[in-house]
């Protein structure tokens, strides 16, 4: 017999309290405007939350959130991606 298996979402065990959404003892804050379009956003009781990070506004203070799925990496002035100089020297030593 096949039983109905319910797919578990990332914030299914979260509970809405007076302080906000609580998940495993952590109070989650709603996503900020910069998070609009991210695939990780989960709706809980009409509000959008990020299951990856509890305070999304702090992830955007120093630039791009590293969890964002809707933002591409930056390019330098020559149109190339930035490369770590240590990795570049190791690649050059190997002959790549």
Where are the domains positioned within the chain? 15-94
Stretches where the chain sits below pLDDT 70 are 1-8, 73-81, 96
Predicted confidence at residue 1, as pLDDT, reads 45
What is the per-residue pLDDT for 24?
Answer: 87
Name the strand (E) or helix (H) holding 49: strand 47-49
55-87 burial code (b ≥16 CB/10 A, e <16): ebeebeeeeebeebeeeeeeeeeeeeeeeeeee
Rounded to two decimals, the pTM is: 0.63
Give residue 8's pLDDT: 63
Distance of CA 69 to the CA centre of its chain: 7
Q: What per-residue confidence (pLDDT) applies to 78?
A: 66
Q: What does the alpha-carbon distance between residue 43 and residue 47 come to, in Å, rounded to a whole number?
A: 6
From residue 54, alpha-carbon distances to 57, 59, 90 in Å are: 9, 10, 37
């Amino acid at each position: 017999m096949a039983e109905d298996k319910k797919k578990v979402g990332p914030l299914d065990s979260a509970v809405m309290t007076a302080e906000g959404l609580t998940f495993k003892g952590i109070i989650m804050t709603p996503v900020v405007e910069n998070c609009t379009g991210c695939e990780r956003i989960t709706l809980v009781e009409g509000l959008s939350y990020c299951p990856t990070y509890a305070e999304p506004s702090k992830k955007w203070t120093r630039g791009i959130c590293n969890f964002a799925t809707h933002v591409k990496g930056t390019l330098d002035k020559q149109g190339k991606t930035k490369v770590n100089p240590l990795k570049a020297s190791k690649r050059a030593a190997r002959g790549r």
